[in-house]
């Protein structure tokens, strides 16, 4: 998984896994969902990210099963 923040466009892209994008769907006015050729979610684009998320305070935690 990769998370990229593009400060110049205030866009956050969350790549869940590398895949060929088959289709991009609008979730809402500022959120796009990328689907692979099998219809599985592989990425999420969030426009106006600084208004919708606390970008500087990012954390990641993996919980053991």
Per residue, the 3-state secondary structure of the chain, as one string, reads CEEEEECCCCEEEEECCCCCEEEEEEEECCEEEEEECCCCEEEEEEECHHHHCCCCCCCCCCCCC
- Residue 9: what pLDDT? 95
Spatial contact of 23 and 30, defined as CB atoms under 8 Å apart: no
- Domains of the chain, residue spans: 2-52
The two structure tokens encoding residue 33: 């969902």
- Residue 53: what pLDDT? 80
For the chain, 65 residues long, give each residue's pLDDT as a single digit of tens.
Answer: 999 999 999 999 999 999 999 999 999 999 999 999 999 999 999 999 988 887 777 777 888 87
Q: What is the pTM of this model?
A: 0.84
């Amino acid at each position: 998984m990769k998370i990229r923040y593009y400060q110049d466009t205030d866009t956050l892209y969350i790549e869940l896994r590398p895949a060929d994008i088959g289709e991009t769907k609008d979730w809402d006015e500022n959120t796009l969902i990328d689907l692979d050729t099998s219809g599985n979610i592989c990425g999420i684009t969030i426009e106006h990210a600084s208004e919708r998320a606390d970008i500087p305070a990012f954390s990641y935690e993996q919980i053991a099963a």
